[in-house]
Amino acid sequence: MNTYLKLAAFDFRLYLRDGLTLFWILIYPILMLLIFGQIFGNQPGAIEGTRYIDSYVPALCVMNVLSVSVFTLQINMVTYRGSGILRRFRVTPVKKWNVLASHALQGVCLVLAGAAEILIVSKLVWNIDVTAAGIAQLLVSILFGCIGFFSLGFALSGLSNSPGAASGLAMIFFFPMLFLSGITMPLDIFPTFLQHVSEWIPMTYFVNLAQGVWLGGSIFSFGLEWAVLAGFAVLCLALAFLLFRWES
């Protein structure tokens, strides 16, 4: 455990020393929020009595999980491995899970910071309803989703050796999931065949869950969503360990 905590602190310090990437990860969701919120924010939402902004807040938190995982975590892991440090760790008692969990903790911090930002700005600008129960339910579902999506990022990091190739991979996963999961616009305005495509994207279930619990639904009433996310987590976690490499 000491190994893990020290490693996590070490990795996080190295990450923070690279200020530019942190800047982007904290600025991007706020830009999205202000742009889309400004355009659609006060329009009526999918559920009676809600506004678009009410569904957009949890969706953005979910998007943040995706961008942290495929951009930050994936590319960081590729760079980290490229530095040769994992090769060095391999001849110490450090285990695979120490490395993965250290980067995952970093991801959780970024996701939580992003969520806090989104909630505060939406409260100030659109005066959204914020309840303790809503926040708690949202956090539980987001953290659960992190397991699968972070693992996806780690699995992808095993596929490339250069940050360039890694960001290419990130794009391939990021944009389809962003547009086909209902994050930016509700799925009901999509053509039928695209709605069918979105049913095959795990992100869709993540968005549904986060929006559902945020808009007052019970955390226990999303059986399908929990099941899909759990299955996705198991699959990706296995892939993350399988594709983990100590050397570039």
Partner 1 sequence: METTNVANAIQLTQVRKQYGSAIAVQDMTFGVRQGEIFGIVGPNGAGKTTLIEMIEGLRTPDGGQIEVLGLDVGKHREALKQRYGVLLQSTSIPGRAKVRELLQLFSSFYRKTADVEQLSRSLRLDDKQQTAYKSLSGGWKQRVSLALALINDPEIVFLDEPSMGLDPNARSEMWEMIVRMRNEGRTIVVTTHYMEEAEALCDRIAVIDKGRLVALDTPRKLIARLGGNRRISFRNPGTAAQHRLSSLPYVVQADWLGEEIVLHSSNLDQTLKHLFRLAESENWLVSELRLGDATMNDVFSQLTLQERRQAQ
| Binding stretches for partner 1 (CB under 8 A) | 2-3, 5-7, 10, 13-14, 17-18, 80, 83-85, 87-88, 90-94
Shortest Å distance, C-beta 22 to partner 1: 14
Q: Which is nearer to partner 1, 189 or 242 (CB)?
A: 242
Taking Cα atoms as reference points, which of 40, 44, 80 lies closest to residue 60? 40
Q: Which is nearer to partner 1, 88 or 123 (CB)?
A: 88
Shortest Å distance, C-beta 14 to partner 1: 6
Q: Which is nearer to partner 1, 10 or 175 (CB)?
A: 10
Shortest Å distance, C-beta 86 to partner 1: 9
Amino acid code (one letter) for 5: L
CA gap 34, 55 in Å, rounded: 14
CA 236 from chain centre, in angstroms, equals 14
CA gap 48, 42 in Å, rounded: 13
Q: Which is nearer to partner 1, 85 or 112 (CB)?
A: 85
CA gap 26, 36 in Å, rounded: 17
CA gap 146, 208 in Å, rounded: 15
Q: How far is residue 137 from each of residues 145, 180, 219, measured CA to CA in Å?
A: 12, 24, 6
Q: Do residues 209 and 193 touch, judged by C-beta distance below 8 A?
A: no
Q: Which is nearer to partner 1, 85 or 239 (CB)?
A: 85
Shortest Å distance, C-beta 237 to partner 1: 22
Cα–Cα–Cα angle for 81, 85, 91, nearest 5°? 115
Taking Cα atoms as reference points, which of 191, 176, 158, 165 lies closest to residue 63? 176
Shortest Å distance, C-beta 58 to partner 1: 35
Residue corresponding to tokens 């996590």: 8
Q: Which is nearer to partner 1, 67 or 157 (CB)?
A: 157
Shortest Å distance, C-beta 216 to partner 1: 45
